[in-house]
Structure 1
């Protein structure tokens, strides 16, 4: 059995009041359309077709080559959108159809729809939902045996039908041959002169095809995003889902309401996340860590037993047992080893720092390779930029860098070397030596009296 998916993503989304397509707005770091793409992939779709229209080239550039594209140059309804993918459909396959602005659709609901569809061998299966206020939605009409009869739109429903709380989600699973047949019969004989996908269900029903409906696992799964307000609502729902998942897996979130964790983040058990943290991208955090409040971590790898306080870590690796912060800034392409101390107001950029080294406060280390057990005194600066080019320095194992030292790159400080406080180092420092690069102190007596 082959499964494909068609995702409708051609609309502009005027209620977003935006210069970019609605589906390219984001929830927790992922574009709206990426959520249904991920779900149908997980559900077994071997190929996916994205129906694009408004700013199609921008959508293609953003989403990339993982899906196929078909252009709906004129937005003439949902049925018309699916017609653009006729050549995408193979014979004798199953096709999931859903919208690109439904980021909350879950794997569980799509899997339930798929199981229902295949078990009953329906030509089309509709994903429905039970809602408290069904106003504005098409109603699922069933017979006395609870079998599907039809979908009635709000404007066409009678008083009794309007009381029905089971609604059409706009998510379907078709046999491809049945879908092709229904699309060939589809017309635009309506006030809007559009081709509606829901009309294909009526066509199939009248011609004796097998149709069924099953409800979503969670009513939130079918919510669409059509405005900034709905975008915020969907973000909060997704945030809550993600946070609950991590807590079920043994992560402590002190205040889930103020904690923002993106969907692809992995966190080990017994790690504590304090309030107001933002954890983004493909970040992996190990076990028994403490991520202190007001910390931002983006696309980084944090090993076990790490303690981070009020800091920013971007596209870097932090080794086990290391302490970072408070107020540290670890910039991209930095690799920090085990049991390292990166203290308050320390900035690391594009550098490697090996096990056991310390930069406890007020230090900048940029474009440097630092060995084991190196100590940076307060106020040390690796001077890596000459105004035109960046240069790289090397500080070897067991070096001791005194306070207020400037290391003017490129420079090498060899093993066991010491640098006196207040030095500006421009030449290589030999192994086991002491480097002093400062002018001899000179006192001028009575100078201040003469000045006054």
Structure 2
């Protein structure tokens, strides 16, 4: 494959998102859209990845180099802003808001562009609203014209072949051709598509690859498709999902075969789940949750930055944060790992086969040793040694004659006045 540079167009203002987040940094399945695009383009092994950004943004942590588009004058102007950094034989151009684009599609584009000055990825959509229409020559081999929807005639809008916005150019060709592009259109912008007549047409196998994001509704749609792809890969590897449409798993999550994911479960990025686990329903495994094998994390359990050993059970209604649990641990319902002191996070360590009683609060930093027990309802602030029981609660007092005394009118009135009708 020829030497190639990549230019990612990331300078758009994203005003239709109506929030304060730069559009390329909106997350899809736990990763910024720009990171998804970078992952795809890295699969063509480019010499250089360049992000074209606005003067107000800095995407240098994602790419090799950045270039600044000083004014929003259109896609041709954006690409031209990066020309001094493009030195390879070919250049691939892609928008930063296309998180579903795949490396396989880009490899097909580059390899199929041999012998052409330009090539474009296209798709046939049943509802092509919002997309530029590709008008082909003859049997759809090359482009005659690409018309933006705002500039299209009624007849042109009936065309279902759409422009993905992903192109491969011979560098010397596009550097010459871009000088001929004008802003003679309804938007008064310099369209890169005006440099594409004669471009080779490359069909996408999955129309979803074309999807861009311009507003929150489209972001939600792309998130749904991205998670479907993640779910499909996991299920193909032996992970069982009771209801995939109500299961939310991020990118960068590894799950072992035989694990069952129940509905309502959220598993965030950088988590590693072992084999034969049972997760959910309605469990929330936040970043950097790592489990061994045969672990049960039940309903309404939240974990974060937690290492959970094999055969450990966390049944329900618990929070496990900044913790390291050994093997065979039982965590009772309502247990809270109190990891934050108002300024810093601290770790709790629970040894093998320890038993944490229901409604225990473990105030970090604290260590529960192997085979130790905490009594239900305890607030544990000190280490509990091996084979010991930690009890930290007030002794219960039973008032055996309470109801007998309530039968006396004077006592009842005094009790009600004192306990139920105090002035607020």
Q: Same fold (TM over 0.5)?
A: yes
Partner secondary structure for residue 394 of structure 1: coil
Q: Is the 8 A contact 1:140 1:148 kept in 2?
A: no
Question: Match of 1:179?
Answer: 174
Q: Does 1:69 align with 2:66?
A: yes
Question: Match of 2:419?
Answer: none
Question: Match of 1:429?
Answer: none
Sort the Cα spacing of 1:395 and 1:377 in 2 relative to 1 into closer, same or farther, 3 A.
same
Q: Does 1:330 align with 2:331?
A: no
Question: In 1, Cα distance between the equivalents of 2:130 and 2:316?
Answer: 52
* Gaps in structure 1 of 5+ consecutive residues: 206-210, 384-392, 407-421, 424-437
Q: 1:168 aligns with which of 163, 166, 186?
A: 163
1:37-436 map, 5 Å: 37-53=38-54, 55-57=56-58, 60=59, 64=61, 66-92=63-89, 94-117=90-113, 120-153=114-147, 154=149, 163-202=158-197, 205=198, 211-299=199-287, 300-310=289-299, 311-331=301-321, 333-348=322-337, 349=339, 350-366=347-363, 367-383=365-381, 393-402=382-391, 405=392
- Structure 1 residue 271 displacement after superposition: 0.4
Question: Match of 2:420?
Answer: none
Question: In 2, Cα distance between the equivalents of 1:152 and 1:184?
Answer: 18
Q: Is the 8 A contact 2:380 2:390 kept in 1?
A: no
Sort the Cα spacing of 1:146 and 1:201 in 2 relative to 1 into closer, same or farther, 3 A.
closer
Question: In 2, Cα distance between the equivalents of 1:361 and 1:155?
Answer: 63
Sort the Cα spacing of 1:148 and 1:336 in 2 relative to 1 into closer, same or farther, 3 A.
same
- Superposed CA RMSD in Å reads 2.9
Question: In 1, Cα distance between the equivalents of 2:280 and 2:153?
Answer: 57
Question: In 2, Cα distance between the equivalents of 1:156 and 1:10?
Answer: 23
- Structure 1 residue 309 displacement after superposition: 0.6
After superposing the two structures, state which structure 1 stretch, 77-86 or 14-23, moved more.
14-23
- Structure 1 residue 137 displacement after superposition: 3.4
- Structure 1 residue 176 displacement after superposition: 2.2
Question: In 2, Cα distance between the equivalents of 1:101 and 1:266?
Answer: 25
Question: In 2, Cα distance between the equivalents of 1:7 and 1:28?
Answer: 20
Sort the Cα spacing of 1:395 and 1:4 in 2 relative to 1 into closer, same or farther, 3 A.
farther
Question: In 2, Cα distance between the equivalents of 1:259 and 1:55?
Answer: 37
* Gaps in structure 2 of 5+ consecutive residues: 340-346, 412-424
Question: In 2, Cα distance between the equivalents of 1:395 and 1:324?
Answer: 19
Residue-by-residue CA offset, 1:382-416 (whole Å, 9 max, x unaligned): 23xxxxxxxxx4333222224xx26xxxxxxxxxx
- Structure 1 residue 265 displacement after superposition: 0.9
- Structure 1 residue 136 displacement after superposition: 4.8
Question: In 2, Cα distance between the equivalents of 1:139 and 1:346?
Answer: 58
Residue-by-residue CA offset, 1:265-285 (whole Å, 9 max, x unaligned): 111111000010000011111
Question: In 1, Cα distance between the equivalents of 2:268 and 2:88?
Answer: 41
Q: TM-score, normalised by structure 2?
A: 0.85
- Structure 1 residue 26 displacement after superposition: 2.1
Q: Is the 8 A contact 1:259 1:276 kept in 2?
A: yes
- Structure 1 residue 217 displacement after superposition: 1.8
Q: TM-score, normalised by structure 1?
A: 0.80
After superposing the two structures, state which structure 1 stretch, 76-85 or 345-354, moved more.
345-354
Sort the Cα spacing of 1:67 and 1:325 in 2 relative to 1 into closer, same or farther, 3 A.
farther
Question: In 2, Cα distance between the equivalents of 1:268 and 1:110?
Answer: 30
Residues matched between the structures, number: 394
Q: Is the 8 A contact 2:121 2:204 kept in 1?
A: yes
Question: In 2, Cα distance between the equivalents of 1:14 and 1:155?
Answer: 18
Partner secondary structure for residue 79 of structure 1: helix
Question: In 2, Cα distance between the equivalents of 1:77 and 1:115?
Answer: 27
Sort the Cα spacing of 1:191 and 1:159 in 2 relative to 1 into closer, same or farther, 3 A.
closer
